[in-house]
Amino acid sequence: MQQQADIIIHGGTVLTVDADFRIAEAIAIAGGKILAVGSDAEIMALKTGATQLIDLDGATALPGMIDNHTHQFLAGLDMPEAHAKVNISVATSIEAIKEIIAEEVKRVGPGAWIATSCMFRGALREGRFPNRHDLDEVAPENPVYVFQSGKNIIANSHALRIAGITSRTQDPSGIEFAEGHIVRDEQGEPTGHLIAGAGDMARRAWWEATGQPMKKWDYIYYDADKADAGLQAMMQYLNSAGITATRDMGVSSDEIASYRRLNDTGKATVRTELIVGLPIRYVDIDAAETLISSYAGAAQGEEADFWRIGGFKLVLQNDGFWSHSPQKARQLILAANRMGWTLAIHGPAMYQQEAWDRLMDVLVEADAERPLAGRRFSFEHWIGTGRPEHLALLRQWGFSVGPNPPLSYFGAGRSRKMHEALQEVGIAKASALTPMDHARREWGLRMRDWFNAGLLVTGGTDCPATVYDIEHPLLGMYCARTQASLAGTLLEDQAVTAEEALRMWTINAARAMSAETKIGSLEPGKLADIVILSANPLTTSDDRLLDIKVQRTLVAGRTVYARPASGLPHSPYDLGMFLP
């Protein structure tokens, strides 16, 4: 007897994104999984009196979208439901940042730590970055740090005192710790900018001062209620942008615990591959290797309905600064590979070909010890090598590459419009390039080359470094298809097709997170994770792609987001002012 449908979605276009990229009209769902995909007539034959009908009314259904690179837990702490961090992610001026921090000072009172979200990745109105003096004006009695970007932070005077950073403090140096520097004024006094390894110095001191253990990314720990509330809110927000799965890059044990709790209580709505992060950049080579070899947390491959341990995050470079010396990086890669970890690697920039040569040599060495092929290794953000021999090896090993087109969209704007300010604080190293050429060098994504080389190319945002706007949920696909940015067109010949862009955010991302048998395409037996869009992205022109809205998002057949017919609340992340 043929199984009957619990839910039928009909009356529009269904983009299956299967091997044949078949286009259908309707979907039948039973028991949270896809029962059948076909014509309206075929699928309606599976209807019973109890079947729920969802009429597309000409709209388009496609696989739930997958963001292959987020920091979902950290992004959750920026959500208002968490009452944890100050959200300045779309504040476009120093004055706006100060106003938001001043309101938080009133809320928490003197003495309490104040931490912010990532700063807006485009250019600020003043053409410079805030410094400790700006922060001191509104928070003289609170330690404050701004999560500026990557591993760069801006601390006020109070936070610098706790870290013990003064005019006499030396910049980080040697092969054990991350490259970086303390930005200083003409008198040699710290401005508050702590670049890469200098930010690490501050975090280590803060953890020691508060008696807390180190972790990979941010400094402050929050209690379980704040953590869970923020993570749940972030999942729901991602659902409103059509996201049903993601990879969270660099989670610590307390963050994994939050994922467990949401899964076990039925509150999770985004399937997440957790990429473990250990505080290896804060310690010397031997201690870092010990952290990897003695790791006893959730093991790779351990999973539940809404989370899976998928690998280990290794940041080799961030904003052009080395997180590990070549000697340390080699030992860490070899140690992690010997333990069987799948690595998600944040590699060097494209123009650092000598560094890529050394990195590829280490991967060849690792492959000889324990083969890499079939283990779903990845390069995150972008892949900086264009050498045919490198690309051939990466294809042989089955590496995926995860560019973040929205990050390039905004970051290129900052690189061009704040070129002098970036060089002044030393985030961008001095060069003879024009601001536009610098933006292209730092942010241009060679996606066409990677597709042509046969690599598995995925799509992501690096959220919360860039954020989703529910009014413009397909910004990533738009950027991939156009190479657009706030600086102008980056690499015009590297744009991808509409079909390739859709694959980046669906089946390709599912393969990268070892989930292609469950999600990523609409095929019988797979989980009914589905997003309904107001228009078909394959037939919508590039200039109208940003007008497409998410009408409904389903996870295992359950509606987790439905766009209201009227009275839509204002998006907390309004990116419309920055879009064409």
pLDDT tens sequence across 173-220: 876 678 899 999 999 999 999 999 999 999 999 999 999 999 988 889
Q: Residue 109: exposed, middle, or buried by beta-carbon count in 10 A (0-12, 13-18, 19+)?
A: exposed
Handedness of CA 403, 404, 405, 409 (dihedral sign): negative
Are 280 and 397 members of one domain? yes
Are 465 and 367 members of one domain? yes
Are 366 and 501 members of one domain? yes
Cα–Cα distance between 349 and 442 in angstroms, integer? 7
Domain end call among 479, 512, 545: 512
CATH number at residue 496: 3.20.20.140
* pLDDT computed for residue 351 by the predictor: 78
* pLDDT computed for residue 337 by the predictor: 97
CA nearest to 508, candidates 10, 65, 6: 65
Break the chain down into helix, strand, coil percent, rounded to 5: 35, 20, 45
What is the amino acid identity at position 82?
A
Cα–Cα distance between 123 and 578 in angstroms, integer? 11
**266 is a domain residue:** yes
Task: Identify the DSSP state of 219.
Answer: S
Are 294 and 425 members of one domain? yes
CA 245 to chain centre: 12
Tokens of 513: 């997170």
Cα–Cα distance between 219 and 56 in angstroms, integer? 46
Cα–Cα distance between 353 and 554 in angstroms, integer? 44
For residue range 505-527, what is the model confidence (pLDDT) as tens digits? 999 999 999 999 999 999 999 99
Are 480 and 362 members of one domain? yes
CA distances from 306 to 93, 121, 264, 508 (A): 38, 30, 9, 19
**76 is a domain residue:** no
Total of domains in the chain: 3
Are 382 and 474 members of one domain? yes
**188 is a domain residue:** yes
User: Angle of helix 475-482 relative to helix 405-417, nearest 10 degrees?
Assistant: 70
Are 392 and 475 members of one domain? yes
What is the domain range of residue 57? 7-64+525-578
Are 471 and 334 members of one domain? yes
Are 129 and 244 members of one domain? no
**71 is a domain residue:** no
**23 is a domain residue:** yes
* pLDDT computed for residue 134 by the predictor: 98
Tell me how crowded residue 190 is: count the other CB atoms within 10 A of its CB.
21
What is the amino acid identity at position 393?
L
Are 97 and 26 members of one domain? no
Q: Outline where 192-308 has alpha helix (H).
A: 197-210, 224-240, 253-264, 285-293
Rg from Cα positions in the chain: 23
**1 is a domain residue:** no
Are 124 and 228 members of one domain? no
**How many Cα atoms occupy the beta-carbon half-sphere of 117 within 13 Å?**
30
**474 is a domain residue:** yes
Q: What's the whole-model pTM score?
A: 0.96
Cα–Cα distance between 84 and 70 in angstroms, integer? 19
Q: Give the end-to-end CA distance of the chain in Å, rounded to a whole number.
A: 53
CATH number at residue 172: 3.10.310.70
* pLDDT computed for residue 177 by the predictor: 74
**49 is a domain residue:** yes
* pLDDT computed for residue 175 by the predictor: 62
| Residue whose entry in the numeric block shows the structure tokens 């927000």 | 237
**How many Cα atoms occupy the beta-carbon half-sphere of 323 within 13 Å?**
25
Domain end call among 187, 210, 233: 210
pLDDT along the chain (580 residues), means of 10: 88 98 98 98 96 98 98 96 95 97 96 96 95 98 92 95 97 80 96 95 94 89 96 97 98 96 98 97 91 91 97 88 89 95 91 88 97 96 83 96 96 93 82 89 94 96 95 97 97 97 98 97 98 98 97 98 78 85
* pLDDT computed for residue 567 by the predictor: 64
Q: Which helix (H) or strand (E) holds 442?
A: helix 435-443
Tell me how crowded residue 379 is: count the other CB atoms within 10 A of its CB.
23
Are 192 and 287 members of one domain? no
Cα–Cα distance between 63 and 506 in angstroms, integer? 6
Domain end call among 459, 484, 512: 512
CATH number at residue 552: 2.30.40.10
Q: Which helix (H) or strand (E) holds 102?
A: helix 94-108
